[in-house]
Structure 1
Amino acid sequence: MVGRPLTGCARLRSISPVVGVIALVALTVCLGTIVAVGVGSVEIGTESPAFGFEATAESATDRIVLEHQYGDEIDVSTIDVVVTVDGEALAVQPPVPFFQEDGFRGGPTGPFNSRADSRWGVGERAGFRLASTNAPTIDPGDEIVVSVERDGTLLGQASTVAE
């Protein structure tokens, strides 16, 4: 039977593997295209920039200082600063930037002062002193937590123990 031409059913059986391979390749290409389009259409959200701050607090002078340690430059007119003393929020929060506000003694330093450049860069310190009318007062050993927020989103937080 060698050398005999294929006829009828035998001819169709020899074509079936070729058609099957072509169908599998076409299916693989289609599925690959669907996955590529699906992955390409997924938007990766931008994370808010990371900021680092370090706080110091002196009970003798009621002074709190915050140093911008890393992250982008911040325009202090767009942020809120929230201070807690041993878990209790100050009665009057610092309305940065400001100068001689109720609840605070004198003007703040650095970019928290309304008369200074409002851009707060890495390495710069900003500070303020609490007035005796603001509560709670700072005592040695109190934990001071300072949060920096923009539009309700926490940009960074620093804590320290008052000296």
Structure 2
Amino acid sequence: MFPPVPRPRSPRRIDRPRFDRAFAPIAAVCLLLLVVVLGGGFAAIVTSAADPIDPAPTASLSVTVEESTVTLSHEGGDPIDVSDVRISVRVDGEALSEQPPVPFFSASGFEPGPTGAFNSAGTTTLSAGDRASFSIAGTNDPVPTPGATVEVRIDAGSTPVARLSTTATEA
């Protein structure tokens, strides 16, 4: 019989290393690591550069209403700078047409001369044990009458500090 015929060799040599396939995964891993490290560094810079947000004060407050005089009592907790808060009052669910612009001395819809921290002529900080009051003028609407439900809301920016409710009484 005839001796076997040698088969022609492929143009590619078997002993030559094949870099074209192994290079892509290594490059992808290196690129992914670079993206992760740069992203982490960017996040660290952004979070450390941001100003921390001051929390709203935490305090225990109560409210009383005698006829048209609203008195806020600070029973404990953080002091409240009333120049940094907004106070809104509702009588039987209806907002006053004029809200108290604390601190103030004379304002539309209110009797002049509020007491305590609500008076701009004195200290505007309401601390534990302090009381502050203002009187709603007859020109404001609605004016609390005995038996009316009065709600007082105190906000520091967009953060609520207190939501208080009481029933108006006679003086």
Q: TM-score range by the shorter chain?
A: 0.5 to 0.7
Deviations 1:10-38 (A, max 9, x none): xxxxxxxxxxxxxxxxxxxxxxxxxxxxx
Distance 2:58 2:139 in 1: 34
1:89 maps to 2:95? yes
What runs of 5+ residues in structure 2 fail to find an aligned partner? 1-52
Matching of residue 52 in structure 1 with residue 55 in structure 2: no
Q: Structure 1 residue 128 and structure 2 residue 134: aligned?
A: yes
Structure-2 separation of matches of 1:81 and 1:48: 14
Q: TM-score, normalised by structure 1?
A: 0.68
CA-atom RMSD in angstroms = 1.6
Rounded to whole Å, the distance in 1 between the matches of 2:155 and 2:54 is: 18
Alignment length, in residue pairs?
Answer: 117
CA distance in 2, matches of 1:113, 1:73: 16
Whole-angstrom distance in 2 between the partners of 1:76 and 1:130 = 18
Evaluate the alpha carbon distance shift between residue 47 and residue 101 of structure 1 in structure 2; reply closer, same or farther with a 3 A threshold: closer
Q: Distance in 1 between matches of 2:115 and 2:66?
A: 15
State the alpha-carbon separation in 2 of the partners of residues 86 and 94 from structure 1: 17
Preserved contact between residue 52 and residue 157 of structure 1 (Cα < 8 Å): no
Shift, 1:48, TM fit: 4.5
Question: Identity of counterpart residues, as a percentage?
Answer: 42
Q: Which has the higher strand share?
A: 1
TM norm structure 2: 0.65
| Higher Cα radius of gyration | 2
Which segments of 5 or more consecutive residues in structure 1 lack a partner in the other structure?
1-44
Quote the Cα distance in structure 1 between the aligned partners of 2:157 and 2:89. Answer: 16
